[in-house]
Amino acid sequence: MEIDEEMRRQTAVSLAAVGLFLAALLGIGVVFDGADGLSSDGALAVVAALAGFILLMAVLGFVLTKLDAEDE
């Protein structure tokens, strides 16, 4: 199976988004002292990071689909 340019672009963008999400989770853990459990503010930050990740993936999917449609 050959991986074309479109698939490479989608994979790279998705991996970057996942990396950003993981960095956000690590940052939240450090800022809110997650070693002993998160406070309610820390838990809210995790939920916000998750919601942001879901929205980011939706927007990226939309943009990548539009770019693919323009290339054809």
pLDDT in tens, 10-39: 999 999 999 999 999 999 999 998 778 888
d(CA 29, CA 46): 9
DSSP summary character for residue 36: G
d(CA 62, CA 60): 5
pLDDT at res. 72: 67
Instruction: Name the pTM for this structure.
Output: 0.84
